[in-house]
Amino acid sequence: MEIGVGYSLLRIAGELELIVNRIVHDDPESLAEVADLLAESPRIFVIGAGRSALALKMTAMRLMHLGMDVHVVGEVTSPAIQSGDLLLAASGSGTTEATVRAASIAVRAGARLAIITTAAQSPLAELATASIILPAAAKLDRSMTASSQYAGSLFEQTVVLVGDALFHALWQRSGQTADDLWPRHANIE
């Protein structure tokens, strides 16, 4: 068995390359559908648990840099979600209780729901307006079949990449330059 950081980095990069190719070739429509929902929503809310939440916070930051009205669910400044808003949720299993509960509340309020998950047949997917289904291992899959990484790491890494790709596509669509986005970066850190 190989050990070492270099080997691990190459292994992770290889898994990411495989999954990105599958997403792009197997279901490009879902990527476009989520990008369209993001573009047309007056306000965007993001939710996830654990590392999925951290990955979506990165996406929220980039969408804010683009000038979108973005909120992280659970933060004290997050307002009530309303009809026409979008909730972007990430849950590998599609069963994370707090995420499913928040999605249910959002849908009842008239918001739309875009999800990133590994589980096309899940409570979260049943509520979704649009879904990006990742062929990555979920946290509880310890078979090492879908990924040699631990506890859903490939899912969370892919959420980051998909989030950055959604941002990049929307940025290109917007016609804004990097100089247009720069003033929105935090200046009191």
**Nearest in space to 8 (alpha carbons), one of 185, 174, 147, 165:** 147
Edge-to-edge strand list for the sheet holding 86-90? 70-72, 44-48, 86-90, 112-117, 130-133
Compare 152 and 103 and report the one with higher pLDDT: 103
CA angle 77, 37, 31 (to 5 degrees): 115
Q: How confident is the model at residue 40 (pLDDT cuts 50, 70, 90)?
A: very high
Q: Which residues are catalytic?
A: 156
Question: What is the residue-averaged pLDDT of the chain?
Answer: 93
Task: Match domain 5-174 to its CATH number in 3.40.50.300, 1.10.3080.10, 3.40.50.10490, 3.50.50.60.
Answer: 3.40.50.10490
Q: Find how far residue 123's CA is from the centre of its chain.
A: 17
Helix and strand numbers (H, E) in the chain are: 7, 5
First CA to last CA across the chain, in angstroms? 43
pLDDT greater than 70 at residue 137: no
**Nearest in space to 158 (alpha carbons), one of 48, 44, 45, 3:** 48
Among 118-127, 137-146, 157-166, the minimum mean pLDDT is found in 137-146
pLDDT of res. 3: 83
Q: Strand, coil or helix: what is 70?
A: strand
Instruction: Classify residue 131 by its DSSP letter.
Output: E
Among 2-6, 36-40, 65-69, 116-120, the minimum mean pLDDT is found in 2-6
pLDDT greater than 70 at residue 15: yes
Q: How confident is the model at residue 29 (pLDDT cuts 50, 70, 90)?
A: very high
Domain boundaries, the chain: 5-174
Average pLDDT over residues 79-99: 97
Please name the amino acid found at residue 177.
Answer: T
**Nearest in space to 138 (alpha carbons), one of 171, 96, 89:** 96
Q: How confident is the model at residue 93 (pLDDT cuts 50, 70, 90)?
A: very high
